[in-house]
Amino acid sequence: MPEFAAQRPFEVGRRIELRGPSSYAWLVVTLADSEPEALDNLILEIAAATSLPFRVLNIQDLSFEDVQAHLHQPDADGVVLSGFQDFDPPIWSKWDVNRSRFQRPGPIVLLLTTAELSRFCSLAPNLRSFVGGSIFPLASSGGQLSEAEKSQRIQDLEKHYGTSSQDVIQRAQDGILPPEPQFVEWLVLLGRGDLV
């Protein structure tokens, strides 16, 4: 799906972070069918970027009312909804007309395949209006950077901030690293997400 701008999970997380913790945000992230492991990476990196607790809610075996209850208990965290493979037109329609029931301060990310996205855009115009342009296919390899891409990104950050990765780790350990998302990303790239 080349039409939408591909994003890395961390970039999706930065968007959510920028919108704030009570943004009532709706986003769609699309994954290729063959990349289920990318979900773990998505959650990890979004959580690192946002400092919001995030959970995955697989809705496949849940009723509409169950999903509603799960979204509101609690309603301030981030939720990634997955498991839309069995959604037929009546179910999409039910979700669409009852949009108000899902309204919550915490962000909602719908995890869809490209085929599910087409059905979503076609059958759920009210929800699509809420999502707007926030439809992001994860970049290749489920958004995970290759080793070469990671090295290049770390080099870019070192150059931009004029400091070494070791210094960033040291500052994080000393608790004096600024809370900017770029530093969080930097630590995650270095495999030191534990310091975030």
Q: List contacts with another protein (CB under 8 A).
A: 3-5, 11, 14-15, 18-20, 23-26, 64, 90, 93-94, 96-101, 103, 117-123, 125-126, 128-135, 161-163, 167-168, 171, 178, 180
Nearer to another protein, 73 or 147 (CB): 73
| Least Å from the CB of residue 136 to another protein | 9
| Least Å from the CB of residue 110 to another protein | 12
| Least Å from the CB of residue 57 to another protein | 19
The token pair at 66 is 């169950």
| Least Å from the CB of residue 37 to another protein | 25
Which residues fall within 8 angstroms of residue 83, CB to CB, at 6 or more apart? 58, 59, 60, 61
Nearer to another protein, 19 or 150 (CB): 19
Nearer to another protein, 133 or 147 (CB): 133
Distance (Å) of CA 150 to CA 12, 75, 103, 160: 17, 35, 37, 15
β-sheet bridge partners, residue 112:
30
Cβ-count burial of 73 within 10 angstroms (0-12 exposed, 13-18 middle, 19+ buried)? exposed
Distance (Å) of CA 7 to CA 13, 18, 99, 182: 10, 15, 26, 15
Which residues fall within 8 angstroms of residue 8, CB to CB, at 6 or more apart? 45, 138, 139, 143, 145
Nearer to another protein, 72 or 150 (CB): 72
| Least Å from the CB of residue 152 to another protein | 17
Nearer to another protein, 70 or 99 (CB): 99
